[in-house]
Amino acid sequence: MSVQENDNEVILVHPENSKTTTKILKYGATVFSWTLNGEEQLWLSRGAKMDGSKPVRGGIPLVFPVFGKNNSDEHLSKLPQHGLARNSTWEFLGQVSANPPVVQFGLGPEFANEELTKLWPFDYSLVLTVELGKEHLKTAIEVANTSRNETLKFNWLFHTYLKIPDIEETMVSNLSGSKLYDQMLQQSYVDRQPVVSFHEELDRIYQQVDSERIIQVVDKGHPIHTVQRHNLPDAVVWNPWVEKSKGMADFEPKDGFKEMVCVEPGYVHDFVVLQPGQTWNAHQVLSKADLQYQIV
Ligand SMILES: O=P(O)(O)OC[C@H]1O[C@H](O)[C@H](O)[C@@H](O)[C@@H]1O
């Protein structure tokens, strides 16, 4: 059996390599582990809450309908940081393919966190599709506006925590020349550095990065993660470093920031707006892959 379901999680094992697996928690439909030939690719905090009491610190939390904390929209401003999808238990919709194994999860106001749904009372339907390839992990989202008369506006983001051996030896490539909003400096500018490197807390929203740009995480000259995006023009790059890690109760060990970097493909520079009956699709594909030097 390549797909197993229990009360809280769904586990996929690749039929051609039992050491290639992924695990998804129904809470948040959070992918919290992805092993490629026995090697874990995602970072998961040892202090992560897996019991539904808090969004998972690590893996791939799903951000919807708002990225960060909104202060201006009448309804979105009532939601906590990063919305309600990561705080809701999703419905397991089942397996849709055997090789590669593909499963789906669904969320709508009828299943979502009740308290938060009262604060953001819109009609929508989300379907998350997780595909475990021999060499990749694809997560795809479809958002439908199921209302008869109201528009739906939202952000989407895959808050992907990637596991790395050493943040100080890590570079994130292929973002050079892109406009960004630096959340630390609270300023927008164009990144003129050839690669992103890490020496302190870094929290940047790269905006409208051409989807042809394949973002890579490079460790001592080797690409250890390759992130391809479809319909996800923005990419947040984040490492909390020393102080911010100390301040997060579920971030363990405290020096765990050395072994993680978040590269978060999303649609956050603006809202996606759907008219009644419309749908929107996007996906990310994670893999290792050869080094791609791209012209910028
Ligand atoms: O602590 P959380 O709500 O999970 O947010 C974790 C992080 O998410 C994103 O990467 C934001 O850019 C950061 O500013 C934020 O700190």
Q: What is the CATH number of the domain that holds 177?
A: 2.70.98.10
C-beta atoms surrounding 241 within 10 Å: 17
Selecting among 14, 82, 131, 264, the annotated active-site residue is 264
Q: With respect to residue 296, please indicate whether it lies within any of the assigned structural domains.
A: no
Q: With respect to residue 292, please indicate whether it lies within any of the assigned structural domains.
A: no
174 neighbors 223 (Cβ within 8 angstroms): no
Q: Would residue 150 show up in a list of annotated catalytic residues for this protein?
A: no
For residue 291, what pLDDT is reported? Answer: 79
**Of the residues 54, 56, 82, which should be mutated to test ligand 1's pocket, given the most ligand atoms within 8 Å of the CB?**
82
Strand partners of residue 234: 266
- CB-based burial label for 229 (10 Å; 0-12, 13-18, 19+): buried
- CB-based burial label for 179 (10 Å; 0-12, 13-18, 19+): middle
Per the structure, how many domains does the chain have? 1
Q: Is 140 left (phi over 0), alpha (psi -120 to 50) or beta?
A: beta
Task: Give dist(CA 167, CA 33) in Å, integer.
Answer: 20
Q: How many CA atoms lie within 13 A of 9 on its CB side?
A: 13
Does the CB atom of residue 263 touch ligand 1 within 6 A?
A: no
Q: Would residue 159 show up in a list of annotated catalytic residues for this protein?
A: yes
Nearest to 228 by CA among 150, 131, 149: 131
DSSP 247-261: H-TT--STTGGGGEE
Q: With respect to residue 294, please indicate whether it lies within any of the assigned structural domains.
A: no
Number of the ligand 1 atom closest to the C-alpha atom of 61:
4
C-beta atoms surrounding 10 within 10 Å: 24
Selecting among 14, 159, 225, 283, the annotated active-site residue is 159
Nearest to 63 by CA among 292, 201, 288, 268: 268
ipTM: 0.98
Nearest to 65 by CA among 103, 25, 27, 113: 113
Q: With respect to residue 295, please indicate whether it lies within any of the assigned structural domains.
A: no
For residue 289, what pLDDT is reported? Answer: 86
For residue 221, what pLDDT is reported? Answer: 84
Q: With respect to residue 139, please indicate whether it lies within any of the assigned structural domains.
A: yes
Does the CB atom of residue 238 touch ligand 1 within 6 A?
A: yes
Measured in Å, residue 17 CA sits from the centre of ligand 1 at 34
Q: With respect to residue 293, please indicate whether it lies within any of the assigned structural domains.
A: no
Tell me the pLDDT of the chain (296 aa) as tens digits. Answer: 699 999 999 999 999 999 999 999 999 999 999 999 999 999 999 999 999 999 999 999 999 999 999 999 999 999 999 999 999 999 999 999 999 999 999 999 999 999 999 999 999 999 999 999 999 999 999 999 999 999 999 999 999 999 999 999 999 999 999 999 999 999 999 999 999 999 999 999 999 999 999 999 999 889 999 999 999 999 999 999 999 999 999 999 999 999 999 999 999 999 999 999 999 999 999 999 887 776 55
C-beta atoms surrounding 192 within 10 Å: 8
For residue 151, what pLDDT is reported? Answer: 98
Does the CB atom of residue 262 touch ligand 1 within 6 A?
A: yes
- CA triple 237-242-248, angle to 5 deg: 80
Residue-range definition of the domain harbouring residue 24: 3-287
